[in-house]
Structure 1
Amino acid sequence: MGGMLVLERSRDVMRTIIQRRWLALLAAALALGSAWAAPPQVVSELTVAQVTTVDGKTVLRPAPVSKPGDILEYRARYTNHSAAAVLGLVANLPIPAGTTLVDRSQIPPDALASTDSTHFAPLPLTRATRLADGSEQRVLVPIEEYRALRWSLGTLPPGGSAQVQARVRVNDVAPAGNGTAPAHPRG
């Protein structure tokens, strides 16, 4: 009979150990699930304004619609809502179809640029062109072909924010097939 008591106690101990392990596993799964459902550490906000001149001063106004020749300023603000610093923050700012980057309007000025929103290089962009004699020459890529800008912002401290911006001119006619959305509906 003493052997039965030891066997029952062993089963109870094993049941308790298994229950604790399942509870630990469940707690870990819930913690992981809540991490997936947690709000993002860095929130980005993109705004656009029309750039005008009033009495010799630059003024930014809301830009619900735009027309050819308008200058628009895009600003992307990144805010760290976490309690820890975010390392290696990279900011991307698309250049919408139907617009052309205004040369040297990017802030900070050390942006990289891209014609395909995938491959980035320092400004001004260049590409190799084959000459009639078979040699290659580097030529400037027309600024009208730029489709995105990128900045390496480094470390963003807890509660900190960083902003990038650039201006574009609305084109007369949007180039076909470049894969980005127009700046605004034309009015």
Structure 2
Amino acid sequence: MIRIVLFLVALLCAVPQLGFSQDGVSSELNAFLITTNQNGAEVSTEVTEVSPGDLIEYRLTYQNNLPSGITQLTPVLPVPSGTEYQEGTASPELYRASISNQGDDFQSLPLMREVTLPSGEVESQEVPAEEYRRLQWVVSSLDAGESVTLSARVRVLEND
């Protein structure tokens, strides 16, 4: 079976807030394989490697280590290459998303794009969630000593 190394290092490089403390706010990113046991209940197991077809849940935890609260924290979770975001799995609900791997081009959901039809007419169409490359939340406030965990699931694509 072909194994694919998770993109945790790439995620940590892509989003400087992840994996360390900056200005009194620390963060940690963990990846979990989501499976179902014989009773049909979901089981999550922390992983560092995945296989094509696996369902992975990323959990991003922010801890406020400052002596006072903070407001308007806007965490971003990149969707690694070779995976697809699974619509409706973000918790809490997503604020915005992007189909780009860089820049600040986040849009409110659902993402829309203009498509030129064969007739030449331009139509606005919803972008499938599988095409999202970055996810963004807004944490309106985080009191001193408080933490928040954000999560989203991706499916590892089959090898071509």
Q: Please report the TM-score for the alignment, with normalisation by the length of structure 1.
A: 0.68
Larger mean Cα displacement after TM superposition, 39-48 or 148-157: 39-48
Larger mean Cα displacement after TM superposition, 122-131 or 38-47: 38-47
Deviation at 1:98, TM superposition (A): 0.4
- Structure 1: tracts of 5 or more residues without a match: 1-37, 175-187
Distance 1:64 1:41 in 2: 27
Q: How many residues align?
A: 137
Higher strand residue share: 2
Superposed, which structure 2 residues align to 1:69-80 within 5 Å?
Answer: 69-80=53-64
Match of 2:111 among 125, 132, 135: 125
Task: Please list the CA deviations of residues 5-29 of structure 1 after superposition, one character each: whole Å capped at 9, or x if unmatched.
Answer: xxxxxxxxxxxxxxxxxxxxxxxxx
Residue 68 of structure 1 corresponds to 52
Structure 1 runs, 4 residues or longer, greater than 2 Å off:
131-135
Name the SS for the 1:173 alignment partner: coil
Distance 1:113 1:147 in 2: 8
Match of 1:51 among 9, 31, 34: 34
1:50 partner amino acid: L
- Structure 2: tracts of 5 or more residues without a match: 1-20
Match of 2:24 among 41, 50, 53: 41
CA RMSD of aligned residues (A): 1.8
Identity %: 35
Bigger Rg, structure 1 or 2: 1
